[in-house]
Amino acid sequence: MPHVVKIGNVTLANNVVVAPMAGISNIAFRKISKALGAGLVCNEMVSDKALFYGSKKTEAMCISNPDEHPLSFQLFGHDIESVVYAGKYLDTQTDCDIIDFNMGCPVNKVIKAHAGSYLMKDIDYAKELMDALVHAVNKPVTVKMRIGFDQEHINCVELAKALESVGVQAIAVHGRTRSQMYEGKANWDYIKAVKEAVSIPVIGNGDVRSVKDYWDIQDQTGCDAVMIGRGIVGNPFLIQDCVNGKESEHSNKQRMDMCWQHAMLLAAYKGEKVAIGEMRGLASWYFKGLPNSHAFKDRCSKMQSLDDLYAILEAYEG
């Protein structure tokens, strides 16, 4: 069985962590993840500047349910003043248990703002930034990073030690460089190197798409917990399987039912129009790898209402 992990004063029931994924890890998906037994759920990242300038949309992304704990909210940014402000907001105005800081996002928009994995380019500044955040809040601060900005600058071990020295309580390492984006293979050797270099919990991330991967990343790296991201999009049952430590069979009907549940939860929180817009992309993931699914994915991309989705799910028999 997965072992218990402690991050600062927060104890996880198990070591299965659901990644903060933009456009996915909202309150609806977190509810599903928690129901399937995840030890820790994380919010999709929010912008420090958006909180700093009082964006109501971003504040709405920080709402949570009482049954989500333990819960981590992820922040991204670059400037010390606005990062500290946003950190204090998450610390005092939200119900999260952990404040996570993003040093791993590879997308151009974030890099141009000198945030996400851009911060791996300057360890001294990253250390100064996290020192300020850690000392501004009471909740434990964690960091998610990559192994380096590119193949020529793999510095995750050096950065991890710097972050530990200023009081960061855990580190999640995605085994790719920024320049790899989500391509190629995750290199777990660097996760192992980080684990051997620090004494705080290390969370392994990258290419965990099966229960075998879940066990393998722990065996190969010694990591304390495993973060699962894209492997659970459309197949959240993988969370439950990893918590139980073994694969189980899930019928096509169970997938369709889960897709419907996902849509209903999104509609309850965001209204039908927004929910169906998001489900156009998400629903097709529930069909991924299933027989005769191409036409159904196509129909998902054009649906206009929850009734349309219901009809598509009802019509699919595999």
Q: Is 174 annotated as a binding residue?
A: yes
Q: Is 261 annotated as a binding residue?
A: no
Residues of 95-120 as b/e, b for ≥16 C-beta within 10 angstroms? ebbbbbbbbbbbeeebbebebbbbbb
Q: Are 171 and 142 in contact (CB under 8 A)?
A: yes
Task: Name residue 268's amino acid.
Answer: A
CB atoms within 10 A of CB 124: 8
Task: Name residue 262's amino acid.
Answer: H
What's the chain's Rg over C-alpha atoms? 19
Q: Is 280 annotated as a binding residue?
A: no
Q: Is 104 annotated as a binding residue?
A: no
Q: Is 151 annotated as a binding residue?
A: no
Pinpoint the alpha helices (H) of 98-147: 108-112, 123-136
Asked about 105 being catalytic, the answer comes back as: yes
Rounded to whole angstroms, how far apart are CA atoms 81 and 86? 9
Q: Exposure of 86 by Cβ count < 10 A (0-12 exposed, 13-18 middle, 19+ buried)?
A: buried
Q: Is 254 annotated as a binding residue?
A: no
Residue linked to tokens 């299965």: 16
Rounded to whole angstroms, how far apart are CA atoms 87 and 52? 10
252-257-258-263 Cα dihedral, nearest 10 degrees: 130
Q: Is 169 annotated as a binding residue?
A: no
The active-site residue, picked from 96, 105, 242, 300, is 105
Pinpoint the alpha helices (H) of 11-138: 27-35, 48-52, 56-60, 80-93, 108-112, 123-136
Q: Is 21 annotated as a binding residue?
A: yes
Q: Which residues are catalytic?
A: 105
Known binding-site residues equal 20-22, 74, 144, 174, 229-230
Known binding-site residues for FMN equal 20-22, 74, 144, 174, 229-230
